[in-house]
Amino acid sequence: MLINSDTGFILFVWPKDEDCNAKKSNWSIKINDKEAIATSHNNIGIVFASKQLFARAKKSFLKSIEISKEIDNPHGIIQGYNNIANLFTDVFDKPDKTLHAYLDSLLTCNSTNPSVIRSTLLDSSEALYEKSYQLSKTIGDNSQQYFSVQGLGNIQKKRHNLSKAITYYLHAASLSDSAHSYKEYGDACFNLFTCYKEQQNYKEA
C-alpha cells in the first residue's frame, strides 16, 4: 500500500499511470478478478483526484466500494470511504469563488454561503471517516484506523476545535507507534505540535 503524504489518499499511483490502471481494470474484468477490479477503480479515482477531477474521482471510489461490498472485502470498503472523505476535505480548502462549483460535483448543499458549504463538507467527511474507523476497528486493521483517526483529527483542527483534534492525534500516534509505523507516528506528532503551538501550549509542543 502506497500513501501520498501530501493528500493522504490510499493506494496512490502517479497521474501518468491512468491509462495503465484502466488497462489493468480491463484485464481484471476479462479474468473476473473482482478484487483487482475494485483496486483499479480506487487507483483511477486517486488519479482523477490529483487532477482536481473530483466528480470522476468520487464515481471511481464509489464503484470500488460497490465491488468491495460484493466480494465482502472490508479493506477495500475502508479505503474507499477514506478516499472520498479526503476528497471532501480537499475541496474544503478551495477558494470561496470556486468552492460551490466543486461542491456541485460531490454532494448536495442548498446554500451558496462558503461557511455553510465548508460545514457541509466537513460533516460529510467526518461521517465517512467514522464509518471507516468503526469498520477498521472491527477487523483489527490498525493501519486503516490510523488514517481514519488522522482524518477525524484534521476535521476538528479545521473547525478550530483543538482539544478534540489533539485527542484524535494522540490516538493516531498510539496506533502508529504500536504498529511500528514511524513515518505515520512522525506525522501524528507533527500535527500535535501544530495544535499545541496554536494553543500557545509550548510545554507540550
Span 149-199, pLDDT tens digits: 999 999 999 999 999 999 999 999 999 988 788 899 999 999 999 999 999
Return the pLDDT at 108.
79
* 88/93 Cα distance (integer angstroms): 9
CA atoms within 13 A of residue 174's CA, in its CB half-sphere: 7
In 3-state terms, what secondary structure has residue 10? strand
Query: CB–CB of 131/164 below 8 Å?
Result: no
- The whole-model pTM stands at 0.81
pLDDT in tens, 69-118: 999 999 999 999 999 999 999 999 989 888 877 776 777 778 888 898 89
* 35/27 Cα distance (integer angstroms): 12
pLDDT in tens, 10-49: 554 434 455 555 554 554 444 457 888 899 999 999 999 9
